[in-house]
Structure 1
């Protein structure tokens, strides 16, 4: 008997295994040989590589278009895009790479909010995820497009992929962004005389938001696309891949990152990198929900979870990553400012707790000051910078029990003197809200909420060595701060670990 060994990186479907067993059964003469057959298959085919693909998919072409624009679109009611795509793009590519299907991803566009402005490459969160996936897992870089900068090219590229679809060569499209971009693509397919090819395009969705939301009055929805193509495009909608109330189910665990720590602690450094893309979410949410469509189509399960994803990734993903593929790593630097080192006054008090760094933390005991800072409650600290650069700003904070709601015990006003604080490339010239969420422990987080810009990570930019000043003013009563950290050249998780090991200023 000759067994068929699956290719090292390809999913070997349950259907094919069953066919092999059935064929072998009729050749077998004894139960002993049949038993050996099952043992041999178990050895040759690792459990994590046996998956049943869904919706008729059989290693066909795959295309996807994400939204998630990180540059502010101030003409729209929500200036920033949906940051779940920042981690979802990396996770989706990881799913394909784990199965050895990199060559099947024929189109991946991102930032597909039509009429939204482009952002600088170094702050373009989806470009960071796309470029990282290409470098690490060997995807074709020619298949990736930033719609804000390459609208014509990305539209024509996807129209070409749709337009060449046939019964034997269908295209499976993941609807991970709004519909206007796809409407324009379908218009181009029809203009090219390829409308009948749309009978062999399969569009998979999980989100009524992606299907129906418009950012300009003239934009179109999925219903408009169906009408335009005469319902030729095949359509399937799986259940919403968010279950915010249950962190152990599906792909959105809200503020609970612990269910994804296996990425952070994985021995494969590229899985560690994927965790940093999950962390990039501006609202401090662990949300990669759009990758649930890839998990459904390629693995056959529309009820994924962090634990299932962990099992699926297994020992890691074969990598094409080489240090020369990416820019030289920025010099690492971490600055830790213990909160009790601030010059306290008015309603700021020092308290003691053994779980706090050095056993001390500060608390704002005054009343809520949501409209504007009261400088009687503004405290400051001067610190030195010996290595210039752009530093991410975070804090270890805690909301005391009974103060764990929105705008309760969770935020302060913050300002770096001489306008050294930035949200993207916008200098912050006055105090801005800085907030987080916690449970019983001091938690590392911190996101700025900027008028007209929305929720942004805070960066402090220091062009030269010298002494600088950070200012904190009371906003939410009962807020507790253990320390504030500034870091560059390392991930937020590395900064967290180093904070616990380093001596404070």
Structure 2
């Protein structure tokens, strides 16, 4: 019996950490929020002790997001704010290294861009977003907040939660910190420390300070080696381009002290209950690269994906409503464009088809309040790349009007209106298994889209029933 137990222990210890997720602070696949500094635009206010942030976040943020992506937690990250010096200026004359790192991570590892906030660009929106996520917290749905920057941003979010009457949600808010600087540094005399934020909550917040994740003079111990990049060379030489990219993000420090990703140690602690993470353990975690496991793909003749997977640009915006799947939808907020396709408002998403054939294309949509059941706020231009779409027997070679009508609910519908052909169902004829792309351009102001749905050899009534129980078809 003792020998069997010893074998089990040896197996558990030697397994790569990506196969063993412990539960620090009872973490169990719950929501995660992060706020970091990293400001590079100088804040020259006389009360600011240092004009700029420590550039360790320029590498630490990509590393932290890579760790989350490695264990497929992208959809658990519900808020990420950066450059979080309150009252600091926007980046106008200096390179915004944090934005570059964040946008690179979103692109490489399929994060939801709507959850990320560059604080100086719109402090109120960033604070309100974090406050709204905190306010959702219950014993069954706690929020884990990783503290990577000064406390004032967090304090203001807590103040808003209380002001909105959601104080009880703070009982289910967990905070992880490792830095006395982040907890106590004041950019202005009127700012607040982490201790004051906890006190404001009535000591409801559950706070955990792990050991400082810096040990720059002992690089084999934790996450920092100062000016010595040798311990990070495995990133530089990795066959995964995205890991090479993390290495590149550490080389902007003016004094070459960028070999420091210490804040990522808090993410590692949360996921693996290990405050002694280090570069050797990270190398093991990333041994086979970072594989994105949540690509949308068709299964058994059905493909469904959330509209927020489109990379929003132009006048497309994110909306929030409990009637939508995952409580999110996208909407077109630009002017009506009935006569001309404005490619500035083009959004696209690529997906995988496993079983080739002819698919019916629909969406779940809703018209804006006050216009439901009319012809307003109900259509967009649609095009399937490489001329894969058809209206009846005729291929759609360019963008055509695609419309629906709704009541208060998001409705599964969608018809083409094509000149000289009238109203037709849109079908997609995929000749082989592979990746394909759908494109939308805004047409009527206010249109709300929840999901895109494609199916073959299934009745639409059956599809309506299926999508009540699933949000997406993912790999």
Q: TM-score range by the shorter chain?
A: 0.5 to 0.7
Match for residue 166 of structure 1? Answer: 138
1:250 aligned to 204, 222, 234, which one?
222
- Alignment partner of 1:135 is 2:135: no
The answer for the alignment partner of 2:120 in structure 1 is 148
How far has the Cα of 1:48 moved from its partner? Answer: 3.9
Instruction: Give 5+ residue unaligned stretches, structure 1.
Output: 1-24, 26-33, 326-505
Task: Give the alignment partner of residue 94 of structure 1, picking from 66, 85, 89.
Answer: 66
User: In structure 1, what is the equivalent of residue 207 of structure 2?
Assistant: 235
Q: Of residues 168, 179, 191 in structure 2, which corresponds to 1:196?
A: 168
| Structure 1 length-normalised TM | 0.54
1:372 paired residue number: none
Q: Find the partner of 2:272 among 299, 317, 322.
A: 299
CA deviation after TM superposition for structure 1 residue 122, in Å: 7.9
Cα 1:47–1:224 change in 2 (3 A) is closer
CA deviation after TM superposition for structure 1 residue 47, in Å:
6.1
Superposed displacement of residue 282, structure 1: 3.0
CA contact (8 A) 1:135 1:321 kept: no
Q: Is the 8 A contact 1:137 1:320 kept in 2?
A: no
- 2:72 is the counterpart of 1:107: no
Indicate the residue corresponding to 2:180 in structure 1: 208
Native 8 Å contact 2:186 2:193 kept in 1 = yes
Decide which structure has the larger Cα Rg and report it: 1
Corresponding residue of 1:55: 25
Distance 2:167 2:33 in 1: 18
1:281 aligns to 2:253 (yes or no): yes
For the Cα contact (< 8 Å) 1:121–1:127, is it kept in 2? no
- After superposition, the CA RMSD in angstroms is 2.7
76-85 vs 104-113, which deviates more?
76-85
In the other structure, the counterpart of 1:66 is: 36
Are the structure 2 counterparts of residues 77 and 122 from structure 1 closer, same or farther at C-alpha, using a change threshold of 3 Å?
closer
Counterpart-to-counterpart distance in 1, 2:203 and 2:255: 37
Given that 2:147 and 2:177 are in contact with CA atoms closer than 8 Å, whether structure 1 keeps it comes out as: yes
SS at match of 1:160: helix
Q: Give the equivalent residue in structure 1 for 2:52.
A: 80
CA distance in 1, matches of 2:198, 2:64: 26
Per-residue deviation, 1:283: 2.7
Which digits, 9 at most, give the CA deviation of each residue in 1:441-480, with x for residues without a partner? xxxxxxxxxxxxxxxxxxxxxxxxxxxxxxxxxxxxxxxx
| Paired position in structure 1 for 2:373 | none
Q: Matches of 1:225 and 1:46 in 2, distance apart?
A: 37
Question: CA contact under 8 A between 2:31 and 2:144: conserved in structure 1?
Answer: yes
1:320–1:134 distance in 2 versus 1, CA, 3 Å:
farther
- 1:261 maps to 233
Does the CA contact (< 8 Å) of 2:17 and 2:284 recur in 1? no
Distance 1:320 1:268 in 2: 15
Q: C-alpha separation between the residues in 1 aligned to 2:133 and 2:234?
A: 36
- Deviation string 1:387-442 (CA, Å, 9 cap, x unpaired) is xxxxxxxxxxxxxxxxxxxxxxxxxxxxxxxxxxxxxxxxxxxxxxxxxxxxxxxx
Report deviation, 1:321.
Answer: 12
Instruction: Report how far residue 281 of structure 1 moved.
Output: 2.7
TM-aligned CA distance change 1:310 to 1:153, over 3 Å: same
Give the aligned partner of residue 372 of structure 2: none
Measure the CA separation in 1 of the matches of 2:136 and 2:17.
36
User: Structure 1: how far apart are the matches of 2:167 and 2:277?
Assistant: 35
Distance in 2 of aligned mates of 1:47 and 1:215: 38
Cα distance between partner residues in 1 of 2:284 and 2:101: 22
Instruction: Compute the displacement of 1:250 (Å).
Output: 0.7
Inter-CA distance 197–219: structure 2 relative to 1 (3 Å threshold): same
Asked if the contact 1:147–1:154 (Cα under 8 Å) also holds between the matched residues in 2, the reply is: yes
Q: Contact conserved, 1:65 with 1:175, CA < 8 A, in 2? A: yes
Measure, in 1, the Cα distance between the counterparts of 2:268 and 2:23. Answer: 9
Structure 2 distance, partners of 1:219, 1:90, is 28
Equivalent residue, structure 2, for 1:119: 91
Q: 2:282 aligns with which of 309, 332, 337?
A: 309
Name whichever of 167-176 and 117-126 sits farther off.
Answer: 117-126
1:53 offset after TM fit, Å? 2.9
Native 8 Å contact 2:70 2:292 kept in 1: no
Does structure 2 retain, via aligned residues, the 8 Å contact 1:244–1:254?
Answer: yes
Deviations 1:205-225 (A, max 9, x none): 100110001011111111211
Could you say what secondary structure the match of 2:127 adopts?
helix
The answer as to whether partners of 2:148 and 2:182 remain within 8 angstroms in 1 is: yes
Match of 1:369 in 2: none
CA drift of 1:190 comes to 0.6
3-state SS, counterpart of residue 87 of structure 2: coil
The 8 Å contact of residues 87 and 281 in structure 1, kept in 2 or not, is answered as: no
| 1:384-395 alignment, distance < 5 Å | none
SS in 1 for 2:72: coil
Taking a change above 3 Å as real, the CA distance of residues 143 and 154 of structure 1, as seen in their structure-2 partners, is: same
CA distance in 2, matches of 1:98, 1:70: 28
Q: TM-score, normalised by structure 2?
A: 0.58
Structure 1 CA distance, aligned partners of 2:64 and 2:201? 28
- Classify 1:245/1:47 alpha carbon distance in 2 versus 1 (closer, same or farther; 3 Å): closer
